[in-house]
């Protein structure tokens, strides 16, 4: 009777490292694009103090470029215009005078099949390894008990 060849640590370590790497890649990629979040009230007060250079609306997001060059992001209600919402916070028409307003009306990015499949593959590999290890432990326990 032939004995199965014992598995090395590398046999289990490589899939675990690959799946953790895939998960980390997907999470880090999502976090890279994030900017500091500020409230619409803070945007209005910055407009009233003439500290804003450019306002760019992208869907429900408002990208704020300050006079010193740093960027921030705020959420707006897409049912109302950004100007109407800022006016409710007390911003006057004169305070909009030196501000560049732009509206980025791009559709949302298409669904990414490769990214989705990589995420599913990472989860399947991790679950498969856990089930395999549990089965090996149970097999060893049953063999020990007999």
| pLDDT score of 143 | 83
Helix, strand, coil percentages, rounded to 5, for the chain = 50, 15, 30
| pLDDT score of 31 | 47
**H/E segment holding residue 66:** strand 61-66
Calculate the alpha carbon distances from 92 to 45, 104, 137 in Å. Answer: 11, 23, 70
What are the E-state strand segments in 1-60? 52-58
Give the residue extent of every domain in the chain.
Answer: 9-31+114-145, 38-103
Fold category of 38-103 in CATH? 3.30.720
pTM summary value = 0.51
**Residue in 141, 49, 36 with CA at minimum distance from that of residue 89:** 49
| pLDDT score of 95 | 84
Q: List per-residue pLDDT tens for the chain, 146 residues long.
A: 566 665 666 667 777 777 777 767 766 655 445 678 899 999 999 989 989 999 988 878 888 999 898 899 998 887 788 888 888 999 888 888 878 888 776 665 677 777 788 888 888 888 888 888 888 888 888 888 77
Q: Round to whole Å and give the CA distance between 135 and 46.
A: 60
């Amino acid at each position: 009777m032939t004995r199965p060849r014992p598995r090395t640590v590398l046999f289990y370590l490589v899939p675990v490292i690959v799946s953790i790497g895939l998960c980390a890649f997907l999470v880090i990629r999502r976090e890279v694009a994030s900017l500091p979040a500020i409230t619409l009230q803070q945007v209005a007060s910055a407009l009233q103090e003439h500290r804003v250079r450019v306002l760019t609306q992208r869907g429900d997001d408002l990208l704020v470029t300050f006079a010193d060059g740093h960027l921030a992001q705020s959420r707006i209600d897409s049912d109302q215009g950004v100007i109407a919402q800022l006016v409710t916070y007390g911003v006057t028409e004169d305070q909009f005078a030196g501000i560049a307003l732009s509206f980025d009306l791009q559709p949302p990015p298409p669904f990414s099949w490769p990214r989705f499949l990589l995420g599913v593959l990472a989860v399947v590999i991790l679950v498969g390894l856990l089930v395999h290890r549990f089965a090996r432990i149970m097999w060893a326990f049953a063999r020990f008990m007999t």
